[in-house]
Structure 1
């Protein structure tokens, strides 16, 4: 998601590897404009990168079913990392699940209990490989009208209230706490059991299995291709991108990024609405 901070242009001295082999980019607030479109400039840059032999990975918190915004712009392998690293999917096959790194249901129930105690008023949604279900008072997903509505405890107990499909992540929403405050509190009470992060401008947390992140799944995918972190250029804007940006040899925070992302990345580009990813890709290609 994007924020309202001012943009900072990418200078000519931005850090760039001599010959990158892979570009890993977040989507919302990063590659996509605020209206969720992909600009012609960005489409052209992605295509030129692949033609130059640089693989492009979309690495996002989105589920596979919400990848239609970029599925037409995937070349080469067609793979994408979704749900903050909990799923690897093939966009050439309509989002077919290739790998899942699920959240254990018993652990998810423990986290639900801990957050209910620490932050009364928290409501939950359960993202599975088959779709999302959520509690009656959780903000409704207009893109998913067929969701099951029940308490998180019922949704997680595999007692006939769902299809028993693997849980990719748990979502926790609070109507009053600040986004960063809610994340800090949640990590204090449950950070030893799961990976907790956020990508929304609201107090909405994304909870995955312990050790599951964009970075850890990207590292596994790169290892399969004998690609080192030094050969990766990554882009992001929100806290769920932090591990990926610090793992990659070269990383860029968008001009609209969260302050923690701006501090962690090795470089900075312009905002998502100014095609900040395309700007850097063009610089990379010009230097090859």
Structure 2
């Protein structure tokens, strides 16, 4: 661990506990990471404004990979911005609004357009997409779409993914949570975002530590020698990661980072 220069953590199910909170323990650990000159990256399917709110005290010192890699931002400088080609949006709108019991959210850089959802669902979505506009028509979407998030009340992998997986490889389609499937531009994934950062910063996989819990984390886990699956992770993540840690409610990220800091201080 003594060679680690870059730590990357997913948010929901990983750094955030089941109440969607960042622990005070992490903020303490982060100070020590900074003292050891170890860079921290938050990599999430969440939009930039949501990640920023969760990690507000750290914004000047971290890089944010938002929308599964659709946006990469450092100190308000946009390093990567991928959008779904506008000619695909109408066809995708027709497809995703036709899937039973599925609620699409069209995510842009600054806000989310929520289509035909109940008040209760809007309340659920607002945890992730606090800047939102309710719409009834595609004509109301005014900005380039970075990602289409599809929500299913019980299980997205069983009920949504089979109906949209045919969009690959022209588009990236990934199960990002128990309730979520995300559709993005073909080159948008957390792995491509991490590869860009590793190249930009001249950091090797052997100097990289990554934490994840769901299938949208698989690509970035493969780019780190020190890849960790959370105890609560999807089976595919556990099969891909080189190591494991405790759950997001048992400080799985913090425990490993404290070990990393202890190792770093020996040298």
Note whether the superposition's TM-score is higher than 0.5: yes
Q: TM-score range by the shorter chain?
A: 0.7 to 0.9
Structure-1 residue corresponding to 2:216: 240
Judged with a 3 Å threshold, the aligned counterparts in structure 2 of structure 1 residues 233 and 187 are, in CA distance, closer, same or farther, namely farther
CA deviations on 1:7-37 (whole Å, 9 max, x unpaired) are xxxxxxxxxx440110000111111122222
Judged with a 3 Å threshold, the aligned counterparts in structure 2 of structure 1 residues 162 and 179 are, in CA distance, closer, same or farther, namely closer
After TM superposition, the structure 1 = structure 2 runs for residues 43-58 of structure 1, keeping only pairs within 5 Å, are: 43-58=27-42
Q: Which runs of 5+ in 2 are unaligned?
A: none
Q: Within the alignment, does 1:285 sit opposite 2:261 as a pair?
A: yes
Q: Within the alignment, does 1:147 sit opposite 2:133 as a pair?
A: yes
* TM-score of the pair, normalised by structure 1: 0.80
1:102–1:167 CA contact under 8 A, matched in 2: yes
* TM-score of the pair, normalised by structure 2: 0.86
- Report the count of equivalent residues: 257
Q: Within the alignment, does 1:100 sit opposite 2:81 as a pair?
A: yes
After TM superposition, the structure 1 = structure 2 runs for residues 67-86 of structure 1, keeping only pairs within 5 Å, are: 67=51, 68-74=53-59, 76=61, 78-86=62-70
Mean Cα displacement is larger for which, 179-188 or 213-222? 179-188
1:86–1:100 CA contact under 8 A, matched in 2: yes
**More RCO (CA 8 Å, sep 6+):** 1
CA deviations on 1:70-118 (whole Å, 9 max, x unpaired) are 1213453x3211010000124x45xx6443111112234344445566x
Query: What is the RMSD computed on CA atoms of the aligned residues?
Result: 2.3
Q: Which runs of 5+ in 1 are unaligned?
A: 1-16, 156-160
State the distance in 1 between where 2:205 and 2:158 align: 31
Judged with a 3 Å threshold, the aligned counterparts in structure 2 of structure 1 residues 256 and 48 are, in CA distance, closer, same or farther, namely same
CA deviations on 1:31-72 (whole Å, 9 max, x unpaired) are 112222222222121221121111110111111111211121
Match of 2:17 among 33, 41, 44: 33
Structure-2 residue corresponding to 1:253: 229
Q: Within the alignment, does 1:136 sit opposite 2:116 as a pair?
A: yes
Mean Cα displacement is larger for which, 248-257 or 137-146? 137-146
Structure-2 residue corresponding to 1:179: 156
State the distance in 2 between where 1:108 and 1:84 align: 18
